[in-house]
Amino acid sequence: MSEALNFKLEVYEGPLDLLLALITKNKVDIYDIPISDILDQYLAYLEEMRKMDMDIAGEFITMASELMLIKSRMLLPKNPMEEEEDPRERLANALIEYKRAKETAVILNERYMQFAGRMAKPMDEAPFQAIPELSDQDAKLLEQAFARLLQRAKEMRETMQPPEKTLENLLKKRVTPIPERIVGIMRYLHKNGKQSFDNVMLQCKTRSDIIASFAALLELLKARRVKIYSDENDEVILELNREGLKRK
């Protein structure tokens, strides 16, 4: 652990993602994190981001502050008469949950790929077909619907008190896997029939859900699993493409 960590400057989904990468790289126990060493490497990564003029999200700074706080608490003398909580315990639990979420995302992706190709012919029997691209019309409709959604979200944020950036809020965050939203959207449309873009996106509870849902819709439209069109009220409608499902 005394050697400096040599890492290429990769983009991480958040501070927990970065911490998990550092812990894996150093081959240390999540429940026995050498905070001082990991903190040094974490700060070194942020410094490299700064040197490259990369934007550092506030949540990375919040985590750095919390790591410093944990380090300082570990340096305080312990009362031998009292059983004190390990300052690292809450962070360790959050990292375990995040690791499980990432592993689940991999499993979901594998299951989706199996489902997507369930009715496909073997590679040596099937003629080569290029992956379909999103049509200009579909892309335009999706872009317009998403722009309206962002505008409404912006108007709502302006009237709401912004959430405090604390470790508690940070550890509650969950990165939503795209395959999870692909399955969720298909199930929602199968159960409820054609729906407006807004109704589909209203199923999202977090910003991560929204981002994953948008990416999922792109994949579903490109794969011809979902149709998108405007109705007589200029509402963007999403509907399962039954023909696309049969071809699979």
The predicted structure's pLDDT at residue 94: 86
Q: What is the pLDDT of residue 128?
A: 34
| Concatenated DSSP letters of 175-220 | PPPHHHHHHHHHHHHHHH-SEEHHHHHTT--SHHHHHHHHHHHHHH
Q: What is the pLDDT of residue 6?
A: 46
pLDDT of residue 23: 93
The number of beta carbons lying within 10 Å of the beta carbon of residue 198 is: 14
* 134-158+165-248 CATH choice from 1.10.10.10, 3.40.50.880, 1.10.760.10, 3.90.1150.10: 1.10.10.10
Show the low-confidence residues of the chain (pLDDT under 70).
1-11, 53-55, 105-134, 152-174, 243-248
Residue range(s) occupied by CATH 1.10.10.10 in the chain: 134-158+165-248
Tokens at 29, concatenated: 């126990």
For residue 166, what pLDDT is reported?
55
Structure token pair of residue 50: 């700064």
Buried b (16+ CB within 10 A) or exposed e, 37-76: bbbbbbeebbeebeeeeeeeeebbebbbebbeebbeeeee
